[in-house]
Amino acid sequence: MTFKNRKKNYPLYETTKFRDFREMTENVAERYPEKVAFQYKLDPKDKETQKITFRESRDFIRYLATELHGMKLEDKKIAIIGQASIEWFFSYTALMCVGAVTVPIDKDLPVSDIASIINTAECEYVFFTDKLAEKITEVKAEAPTLKSFVSMGGATVDFATDLMTLVRAGEAKHECGDRSYYNYKIDNEKLSSIVFTSGTTGKGKGVMLSLKNICSDMEQGMYNFNITERTLFALPPHHTFGSTVNFVGHFAQGCEVYISSGIRYILDELKLFKPTHLILVPLFVETFYKRIMATAEKTGKLKTLKTGIKLSNALRKIGIDLRAKLFGESVLSNFGGELKMIICGGAALNQSIIDFFESIGVVILNGYGITECAPLISCNRNECRKTGSVGMPIIGGEVKIANPNDAGEGEICYRGPNVMLGYFGEEAATRAVIDDDGFFHTGDLGYVRVIDGDQWIYITGRSKNLIILSNGKNVYPEEIETDIQGIYGVGEVVVYEGVSKEDESNKLIVAEIFPDYDALKLHGITDVQSYFEEEIKKVNAKNVSYKAVAKVKIREVEFEKNTSRKIMRFKIDKTF
**78-111 residue pLDDT tens:** 999 999 999 999 999 999 999 999 999 999 889 9
Q: Kindly tell me if the per-residue pLDDT of 255 is higher than 70.
A: yes
Of 69, 279, 282, which Cα lies nearest the Cα of 184? Answer: 69
Chain-centre distance for alpha carbon 323: 28
Distance CA 568, CA 202 (A): 8
Domain boundaries, the chain: 21-186+229-273, 284-463, 475-571
- Phi first, then psi, for residue 397 (nearest 5°) are -100, 145
Compute the average pLDDT of residues 36-53.
Answer: 95
4 pLDDT higher than 60: no
Query: Taking a C-beta distance cutoff of 8 angstroms, is the pair 297, 522 a contact?
Result: yes
Tell me the mean pLDDT in the region 212-231.
93
Which amino acid belongs to residue 351?
Answer: Q
Omega within 30 of 0 (cis) for the link into 375: yes
Is the pLDDT reported for residue 375 higher than 70?
yes
CATH topology of domain 475-571: GMP Synthetase; Chain A, domain 3 (3.30.300)
Strands 507-515, 490-499: pairing is antiparallel
pTM (two decimals):
0.86
| % residues pLDDT > 70 (the chain) | 96
What CATH homologous superfamily does 21-186+229-273 map to? ANL, N-terminal domain (3.40.50.12780)
Give the single-character DSSP code of 157.
-
**284-463 and 21-186+229-273 share a CATH fold:** yes
The conformation of residue 244, written as its DSSP 8-state character, comes to: I
Q: Is the dihedral of CA 209, 212, 214, 217 positive or negative?
A: negative
**Is there a contact between 412 and 194 (Cβ–Cβ < 8 Å)?**
no
Predicted confidence (pLDDT) per residue in 229-244, tens digit: 999 999 999 999 999 9
Q: Is the separation of the CB atoms in 445 and 463 below 8 Å?
A: yes
pLDDT number for residue 1: 29
Please say if the pLDDT value at position 51 is more than 70.
yes
> What pLDDT sits at residue 9?
66
Exposure string for 433-451, b = 16+ CB within 10 A, e = fewer: bbeeeebbbbbbbbbbeee
80 and 67 Cβ atoms separated by less than 8 Å? no
pLDDT higher than 60, residue 3: no
For residue 4, give the 3-state DSSP assignment: coil
Is the pLDDT score of 548 beyond 50? yes
Lateral strand order in the sheet of 410-415? 398-402, 410-415, 440-451, 454-462
Predicted confidence (pLDDT) per residue in 410-454, tens digit: 999 999 999 999 999 999 999 999 999 999 999 999 999 988 788
What is the overall mean pLDDT for the chain? Answer: 91
The answer to whether the beta carbons of residues 93 and 64 sit under 8 Å apart is: no
First to last CA, the chain: 39
Q: What is the tens place of the pLDDT at every residue in 107-150?
A: 988 999 999 999 999 999 999 998 899 999 999 999 999 999 99
CATH class name, domain 284-463: alpha beta
pLDDT at 564: 66
| pLDDT range class, residue 225, cuts 50, 70, 90 | confident
**CA-wise closest residue to 79 among 149, 166, 3:** 149
Pairing of strands 392-393, 376-379: antiparallel
Q: Which of 309, 348, 303, 353 has its CA nearest to residue 327?
A: 309
As a whole number of angstroms, the distance between CA 198 and CA 135 comes to 19
Yes or no: say if 18 and 27 are a contact pair by the CB < 8 Å rule. yes
Q: How far apart are CA 299 and CA 292, in angstroms?
A: 11
Which range has highest mean pLDDT (163-177, 333-347, 394-408)?
163-177
pLDDT digits (tens, 9 = 90+) for 493-538: 999 989 888 877 778 899 999 999 998 998 899 999 999 999 999 9
pLDDT at 262 over 60: yes
Identify residue 167 by its one-letter amino acid code.
V
Between 476 and 76, the higher pLDDT residue: 76
Whether 323 has a pLDDT exceeding 80, the answer reads yes
- Could you tell me which of 93, 65, 81, 72 has the C-alpha nearest to residue 126? 81
**Which helix (H) or strand (E) segment is 106 a member of?**
none
For residue 472, name the pLDDT band (cuts at 50, 70, 90): low
Amino acid letter, 127: F
The amino acid occupying position 98 is V
* 67-76 tens-digit pLDDT: 999 999 999 9
